[in-house]
Structure 1
């Protein structure tokens, strides 16, 4: 599995997870830091996001806190389309997974 694929000036990031924090706030911050890192390595940044998909282990419990972190992180002038849903993730320790697509231009 690739973490990043670039095709026709579009950057595709696979679903990013991080189980090192025990709460949704910490995990979301850690995952978004990974997203920033991969976007930078690909030659773009969050201001060029096109789409995002977010999976939460428990959407009822964690949506508000995740969304606070997301809103603080996202470029307010360039918000991507986003879908957020509840899903069983690869391990119970993972509370959030985030996938994004961004432009290189």
Structure 2
């Protein structure tokens, strides 16, 4: 069974299939913030979306982080390190990418396992 969470015209915010939760890329709501603030904004959205799916950040098995500028890597990691569950860090890749809105410094896509 496939369950779509907050489905829209182009994509769903999350799709649950086979025990996995595939989340759409999350971007900051407040683009006036620096990289630490935008990262914290996105991570809070991920927390809320996973809760809607019956999961938490401890269930994340994979994360892909897109940065508009790799110069923001250290600042992003400061927010990330304060958020990720100790001893439960997921597999992760961080890449530089041109994001759809130039005001976005970051986009994060995660996959979690609910079992």
Structure 2, unaligned runs of 5 or more = 1-10
The residue matched to 1:3 in structure 2 has which SS? strand
Cα distance in 2 between the residues matched to 1:19 and 1:101:
21
Question: What displacement does 1:19 show?
Answer: 4.5
- The count of residues paired between Structure 1 and Structure 2 equals 104
The equivalent residue for 1:34 is: 45
Higher RCO structure (Cα 8 Å, ≥6 apart): 1
Higher strand share: 2
The residue matched to 2:28 in structure 1 has which SS? coil
RMSD value, Cα: 0.9
TM-score norm. by structure 2 comes to: 0.87
Structure 1, unaligned runs of 5 or more = none
Q: Hey, which bits of structure 1, 4+ residues long, moved more than 2 A?
A: none
The equivalent residue for 1:87 is: 97
Which protein shows a greater Rg? 2
